[in-house]
Chain A
Amino acid sequence: MTVPELVISNVSMAYTPPDWPGGYWWHWLFFSVVLIGFMLTMVIIAIYIERRGLGRMQSRLGPNRTGPFGVLQMVADVIKVLLKENIVPDKADKLVHWLAPIVAFVPVALIFAVIPFQNGALLADLNIGILFIVAVSSLTTLGVFMAGWGSSNKYSLLGAMRNVAAVVSYEIPLALSIVGTLLVAGTMSLNGIVIAQDIPFILVQPLGFLIFFIAGCAEINRSPFDLMEADSEIVAGFHTEYSGMKFALFYLVEYAEAIAISAIITSLFLGGWRGPLLPPWLWFIVKTLIVFFVMVWTRVTLPRVRIDQLMALAWKFLLPLALINLFITAIQVLAWDNAVNWIAVVVNIVVMVVLILIWSKFFKLGWGRLEV
């Protein structure tokens, strides 16, 4: 496989791929349209996969009436939800209630700006790409908290508080697990990280991948960490009081976040657009959907954890492991000229297995009763 040479340190914010016709503005316009289209299409595909997959795994059929194999079900749902009445509670903080879905939606859309679909095919090849993602992605929480606060509903508030607590805790292992990858790749640009993956980083950084996957699931509230909208406990969490288009936006955010995390995992750990035979952008989409499917799979399999157990997992399990992983990776990068080699793969897998065995032996989720 030949990968074109890219001098990563020279990549500036106004980077335009050399083979692209037109200037900066064409590039900007084209990718903005493509990204919005991509996000909406992927969300529809993701919802279809989730509902059908959930159905099949739960020994039922899932949506299968609208269109062939039910593929038009999402279109019907979108039309339905757009035509619904917009209900705002009497005591709601109107402005906050109205702003919340937008505040939640924008950061998710921004994430896609730095994700490479092909070599150089991305809206902005920031040389701090992954840092940008970490910074922007947690802003969604603000929208969620606004929704919880503005709804003037106790269930919403409980859900929003849970979400804030979870995101604040899981940001740390999430960021630390990325640092290992950055050390190995030697760049923060996502395109550069993909180019550096002669061996997919899921093998070079197995522990980092695991931590990132778990923390990512918790960050975007996928099951088993879907506490903020735990339907059996707090009804629908922060979007209990939302209907119509605003609810649709939250629904969109939820799946767009899942797709974004899948895309980031694809770029960071699974070799991004690299792969034989198929065109690169197709490889990227296929890998993203595979990661998303794993999320569907865990959702259908596992019960939900409790809020204190969620916190314990972040601070007692993921954080120490992420620190150790970072330490070991740093030593490897110092010791070898090129840390992406097969010896590192073997060493890191062994380290991962040993560490997880040790931690799972001593780490127990507590009983969590308080005297009142």
Chain B
Amino acid sequence: MTVGLPGQVGWTPSELELGRRAYRRSRGRRSTLVALISTLAFAALAYFTVTNSPGWPRVQATFFSLEVAKDSFPKILEGLWLNVQVLVVGGFLVLVFGLAIAVLRTLRGPVFAPLRILGTVYVDIFRGVPLIITLYLVGFGFPALGLQGVPTSPFILGTAAIVLTYSAYVAEVFRAGIESVHPSQRAAARSLGLTHRQSMRIVVLPQALRTVTPALLNDFVALQKDVGLISVLGAVDAVRQAQILTGQSFNFTPYVVAGLLFVLLAVPSARLADYVSARARRRQQAGGLL
């Protein structure tokens, strides 16, 4: 003797249930409609208030001049290419150095004390010193030594300074990740006969990296904006190009254009960060009870 389950063929919701569904749908439609109307009304009010305010034509001409934007766009884009190059090269080196420093700082055993201290001192110094000072010291200071083989290109020197600073930040992110892996994982790995290095590589780091990915991508977005600071060394990047154009015309639109380009650069990173952390959550919690 079987009881008819909802969803089986032949079953239809009762009049009452259909009525409830229709009511819910109508409430939903009403909410959407109200939200739409209020948004439109607000947008219209905002538009008319702003465009009719006495200062608006000047604001528009100074910050949002389409003509100036059109003229400045190709040059700023050219400058942005330099930012992207520094970002890619610098970003890669930061990951390598950051991870190396984090591993040094988490080494166990008394014999590694000097390395641990070295790592700690490095992080303390370069996380504390303002990036602009590191840039000046590396960018103008190193070449001033007049040593043979010291590069003079602002690209190389600027990237080096950025890598020095950001490696310190990223090393701390990695270290937090490594330390967040439960000691039992390490103990289990060692009990299986893995060496310290093997357990680090096979057990600890994969879990640590997954945990810190959102924080790393956050630092990456910060790096995207700070690469513009290499312009103090004379390199013409997007920010400097915008400054030059603004200096020529006293119109601030080039800054707005450069700002928007940086936002466009940051948006994919932000979406990637969202996606990666969502995927990590799914994987880590797959098969769990909750």
A binds B: no
